[in-house]
Amino acid sequence: MLRLPSNFCQARCPSAFAVNYTLLKKSGALQEGVSTPFAESNTTSAMDLLAMGEIESGTSVAGFSQIHDLSHRSIPRQLIELLPESVARENCVIAVESNGERVTLAAVNRDDLALADKLRFILGVDIAFVKAPAKDILRAIDRHYGPAQTESVDSMLCEFTETAIDFDEADEGDVETHSTTTWRGTVPASRHLGFGRSLTDVSSRPAMRPRTISPHEGQGMWYYVVPEGERALVRHTNGRMEIITGPQRLWRGWKVIVPMERCVAHPGEFLIVRFLNGKQEHHAGPIQIWRDPREHASIEKRECLQLAAKEAVVVYRNELATGVDRATSRRIVYGPTQFFPQPGEWLHTFSWHASKGGSKGIEKVPNGLVFQKLWLMPDQMYHDVPDVRTGDGAVLTIRLMIFFELADIERMLDNTHDPIGDFVNAATADVVEFVGKLDFEAFKNQTDKLNEVATYRQLLGRASQAGYRITNVVYRGYGAADSLQQMHNQAIEARTKLQLERETEQQAQQLEDYKLQSQLARTGQRRSEQLNEARHTMVLAQEKSVAALDVRRQQAEFLRQKKLDDARTDDAATRIIQGAQIEHLRAISEMGVDLTRYLTQSRADRVIEFRNSNGTSPQVHLNASTLDETASD
């Protein structure tokens, strides 16, 4: 930081201070003769106590040019807290007195106007100096603040300029009081003085504390820095406004510089941009928009509506028709998707019957379920039909479970505003009609029909008309009055007792039957085993006979074959012998021997000779019978 001698500005520009002090007075930095307004707070600041005259500062130093007893002077704690330690040590000053409008500080040079201007800017009050030795001031600082290292005042000045100042409003006597966010947190608007700093905030600043880099780090009193990636709106003295995109360093002068707000929507979010001319736009994320007060009335970020599979919403939209009339259209958006409405669109809000639980159990009440997303998956609900009277006057409560599924949204929207209420009424009508035709005993015998969907004609018809499909109805039982239920329980107990006795006797008889059946089964099994054994013996004997028969057959066949072979052998031998005889006879015949005589010689019992005189061969016809008779003779 460039430091100039105190007489440099006076020599160069004698009248400069009169002009500049006017601006400081208007802005609130220099408040000569005017007490600083403070907002009420639970904790009274040092300046509040000074203004009320509740701080005793010891012997007054007003009118004195030098103070000599500073090292032994007692300074109130509230007055010490008025001046930050870093400012006191860097500039070698310490507050010693205040009259409520002006703070008197001990300084080495009581005529240092530059230091006085800087301290007026920091504290926002009028400053007066009284001269004191430097060593006495340092001792007083160590005694009241304690030995410590502090940060530079220049860095504090950068923080003081974080809040933009509207000099035009300062001209009207109004000081901007919006909240300022510093490294210590958010300072309430009621605690701001002058240039947006609080006395209690400054006085409570610790000696050494880590600082975080803010987007406006490095801004000074005369320059404004627009960091990279940021934008600022600059208003010139002629009213013209322009947007500055960082990184840039601007000379403040008479300009009003306001940082522009960055509005960001991430995936799953959207921005609602409302313009000053009445227009409105919706933009889905990811997107960023810089809010321009010349065009934008507001920019709001909202979450998109997450629609899963089998979910849907009903969206209405106003559309310009003829003239100034607006027609309303309707559309259905199905999931899975991320939905955000466009300008002029809104979602249909359903208000159906539902059970509240608690002491009422599953009793359905109007407007018990308020929602915007429709569920297209199969669903179910419990429904009790109370005070149903049978044909003989018994009062019952019928308990049901109804399974349903939304099939047509358009049909549902056109025909009903509360399908659950319609289901309740239709199911109640069907149950009353069914139970009213039967007495109590007949009802108990026909409760199985309550599990059939065909029993609920009115429920099916109303569901189909409303775009729903009833898939099943389950009968969960019934409830009756205490007296009837007691009688019914007694009857059930008696029947159960008789049934148990019957079952006991039946089990005894079944045991006897079982014993008899077991005995018969054992006898039959024994007979079966004996029969099987006899059959086995017979089979063995039969197989043995068959085997013997086969042996005999094989033996006979062997003998027959042997005889046949012998006969064939004998026949072959005979043929050989006869062939040899024939050859012998042929040879004899060829030798001229009469074979007839040779063969019949001394061998025939009777010889009959036939002779033909003409030399031809005689022809003889032999009759077997005649031969036999002749032979017998």
Q: What is the pLDDT of residue 406?
A: 94
What is the overall mean pLDDT for the chain? 76
Q: What is the mean pLDDT of residues 282-307?
A: 94
Q: Given a cut of 50, is residue 185 above it in pLDDT?
A: no
Cα–Cα dist 321/315, whole Å:
18
Asked if the model's pLDDT at residue 494 lies above 50, the reply is yes
> In which band, very low, low, confident or very high, does the pLDDT at 107 lie, cut at 50, 70 and 90?
very high
Domain ranges, ordered by start, for the chain: 8-214, 260-303, 311-347, 350-480
Mean pLDDT along residues 385-413: 91
- Pick the residue with more confidence: 197 or 485? 485
pLDDT at 165: 38
Average pLDDT over residues 608-631: 63
- Label residue 320 by pLDDT band (50, 70, 90): low
Query: Given this model, what pLDDT does residue 283 score?
Result: 95
Report the C-alpha gap between 384 and 53 in whole angstroms: 78
Say what the pLDDT of residue 469 is.
94
Report, as an integer, the average pLDDT of 211-219.
45
Rounded Cα gap, residues 544 and 546, in angstroms = 5
* Span 217-246, average pLDDT: 86
Q: What is the pLDDT of residue 497?
A: 87
Q: Residue 607 has what pLDDT?
A: 63
Among 50-59, 179-188, 301-310, 312-321, the range scoring the smallest mean pLDDT is 179-188
CA distance 293 to 311: 39
Please check the confidence at residue 348 and state whether its pLDDT lies above 90. Answer: yes
Class of domain 350-480: alpha beta
- The stretch 85-100 carries a mean pLDDT of 86
C-alpha span between 340 and 265 (Å, rounded) = 12
- In terms of average pLDDT, the best of 47-61, 169-183, 203-217, 228-242 is 228-242
**What is the structure's pLDDT at 622?**
66
Compute the average pLDDT of residues 584-595: 84
Residue 339 has pLDDT above 60, yes or no: yes
Radius of gyration of the chain from Cα atoms? 66
* 237 vs 256: CA distance, rounded Å: 8
Q: Where are the beta strands (DSSP E) in 184-240?
A: 185-187, 223-226, 231-235
Contacts of 300 (CB under 8 A, 6+ apart): 271, 272, 274
Higher per-residue confidence, 212 vs 569: 569
pLDDT of residue 628: 58
Quote the Cα angle for 469-475-478, to 5°: 140
Q: Is residue 200 predicted with pLDDT exceeding 50?
A: no
Span 240-251, mean pLDDT? 92
What amino acid is encoded at 199 in this protein? L
The confidence score (pLDDT) of residue 424 equals: 94
**408-462: pLDDT as tens digits:** 999 999 999 999 999 999 999 999 999 999 988 889 889 999 999 999 999 999 9
User: For residue 195, what are the contacts with CB-CB under 8 A and spacing of at least 6?
Assistant: 27, 28, 29, 121, 124, 160, 161, 163, 165
The arithmetic mean of pLDDT across residues 514-533, rounded, is: 90
Q: Return phi, psi of residue 43, to 5°.
A: -110, 120
More confident residue, 605 or 23: 605
User: By three-state DSSP, how is residue 343 classified?
Assistant: coil
Res. 73 pLDDT band, cuts 50 70 90: confident
Q: Which residue has the higher pLDDT, 527 or 9?
A: 527
Is the per-residue pLDDT at 617 higher than 50? yes
